[in-house]
Structure 1
C-alpha cells in the first residue's frame, strides 16, 4: 500500500512543477493551483504528522487548544513558547510606531507586560473568537464548538455538524482572515467520526503540516467527547500555493522518502471540550527527517 504521505508530496510536486506563478498579497509571489484533496485514515491511531521533515506537533496542538479557549491575544501562546502568530502583531507594531524592535524583544515585552500585550498582542476577532463567540446580528454570542459537541452526542446523523470562521462583518478587523475556515463532521453508522476541513488558502510548505496536526487533534477530542472513534480526515484546499522563497525547500523535501506515520492518542478522558491540555496528548513512533527552515510571508 502506498504511503499516505505521498499524497502531500505529489501535491507539492504538482504545485512546484505546474503552479501558476503570480503576485500575491505579501509581495513575495507564489506558484499556485486551485483545488486539491487529501484523505488520511485515523482509525488505526495513526496521525498525519509529516515525516519528510520534522513537524513540531506540540506547537500545532497548543495552537488548536488556544483556538478552543476563544482567545485572540498572543500572550498565552508566547508563554507556551508558541511563536507562530508573532509576525502579524510585530509588523503592525513596527509600522505604527516606527520602532525597529527585534522579534525577540517584542515577544519578551508581550510575555512580561500585560498592558503592552493588551495593546499590541491582539489579533482581532480571529479563529477562536468566531468558533466560540460568534456575534450574531441580534447581539447574541454563539458557541459553534459547544453546539457541535451537543449535536454529535444527540443527533449524530445530522448533516449540519460544522463550524466556520468566515465572519464577513469582522474580516476587516482580523490580523489574518481564516485560512482553515470550515470544518464539517460526519458520523458513520458504526460510530466513526469523519472530518472534512476546507482550507481556502494553503501555504503548502509551512502551514499545511500544522493544519493536518491541529485538525487531527481536534478530531480526537471531539470523538472522545461524543463517545465515537476517529475515522477519516478529509482535507480540501482552495488556493494551494508555494511561496517563491520556498521552492528550494520544497525540492529538498521531495528528495526524502517518508517513514511510517506516528500514532497520536489521548491519555485521559477530559471532562469537557474545554478541559484538554497539551499533556493529554501523546505521540508515539515519530522518527522524521530533519526540519526544513523557511520564512513566513506576512
Structure 2
C-alpha cells in the first residue's frame, strides 16, 4: 500500500512545480494552488503525524485543547510553553506602543503579569470563541461543540453535524480569521466517525502538519465521547500555498523517505469533551526525520 504521507509530499511538489506565484497579505509572497484533498485512515490506529520532519505533536494537541476551552488569550498557551500564537499580539503591541521588546520578553510579561496579558495577550474572537460561544443576534451564545457531541450520540445519521468559525460579523476583530474553518462529521453504519476538514487557507510547510494533528486529536476525542471508532480524516484545502521563503525547506522535505506513521490513543475517557488534558494522549512508534525550521509569516 502506498504510504499515506506521500499525498502530502506530492502536494508540496505540485505547488513547487505548478503554483501561481504572487504577493500575499503578509508581503512575503507565496506559490499557491487552489483546491487540494488528502485522506488519512485512522481506523487502524495510525495517525498523520508527519515523519519526513519532526512535528511537535504535543504543541498541536495543546492548541486544540485550548480551542475547546473557548479561550482567546495566549496566556494559557504560554503557560503550557506553546508559542505559536505569540507573533500576532506581539506585532500589535510593537505597532501600538513603539516598544521593540523581544518576543521572549513579551511572552514572559504575558505569563507573569495578568493585567498586561489581559491588555496585550488577547487575539479577539478567534476559534475557541466561535466554537464554544458563538453569539447570535439576540445575544444568546451557542456552543457548537456541545451540540455536535449531542447530535453524534442521539442522531448520528444527521447531515448537519458540523461546526465552523467564519463569523462574518466578528472577522474584523480577530487577530487572524479562521483558516481551518469548517469541520463536518459523518458516522458510518458500522460505527466509524469520519471527519472532513475544510481549510480556506493553508501554510503547507508550517501549518498543515499541525492542522492534521489537531483535527486527528479532536476526532479521537469526539469518537470516544460518542462511543464510536475513528474512521477517515479527509482534509480539503482551498488556497494551499508555500511561502517563498519556505521553498528550499519544502524541497528538503520532499527528498526524504517517509517512515512508518505512529499511532495515537487516548489513555482514559473523561466525563465530557472538556475533561481532556495533554497527558491523555499517547503516541507510540514516532521516529521522524529531523525538524525543518522556517520563519512564520505574520
TM range (shorter): over 0.9
Distance in 2, Cα, partners of 1:227 & 1:251: 42
Question: Alignment partner of 2:273: what SS?
Answer: coil
Question: Alignment partner of 2:3: what SS?
Answer: coil
Match of 1:271 in 2: 271
Distance in 2, Cα, partners of 1:112 & 1:15: 43
Deviation string 1:114-143 (CA, Å, 9 cap, x unpaired) is: 000000000000000000000001110000
Match of 1:110 in 2: 110
1:50-89 matches, within 5 Å, as 50-89=50-89
Q: Shift in Å at residue 77 of structure 1?
A: 0.1
Q: Shift in Å at residue 17 of structure 1?
A: 1.0
Match of 2:92 in 1: 92
Normalised to the residue count of structure 2, the TM-score between the two structures is 1.00
Q: Shift in Å at residue 266 of structure 1?
A: 0.1
Normalised to the residue count of structure 1, the TM-score between the two structures is 1.00
Distance in 2, Cα, partners of 1:18 & 1:52: 22
Distance in 1, Cα, partners of 2:202 & 2:75: 25
Distance in 1, Cα, partners of 2:18 & 2:169: 36
Q: Shift in Å at residue 103 of structure 1?
A: 0.1
Q: Give ranges in structure 1 of 5+ residues lacking alignment.
A: none
Say yes or no: does 1:229 pair with 2:213: no
Question: Alignment partner of 1:270: what SS?
Answer: coil
Q: Give ranges in structure 2 of 5+ residues lacking alignment.
A: none
How many corresponding residue pairs?
A: 298
1:139-178 matches, within 5 Å, as 139-178=139-178
Distance in 2, Cα, partners of 1:130 & 1:45: 30
Say yes or no: does 1:179 pair with 2:179: yes
Q: Shift in Å at residue 168 of structure 1?
A: 0.1
Deviation string 1:179-224 (CA, Å, 9 cap, x unpaired) is: 0000000000000000000000000000000000000000000000
Question: Alignment partner of 1:274: what SS?
Answer: helix
Distance in 2, Cα, partners of 1:95 & 1:16: 34
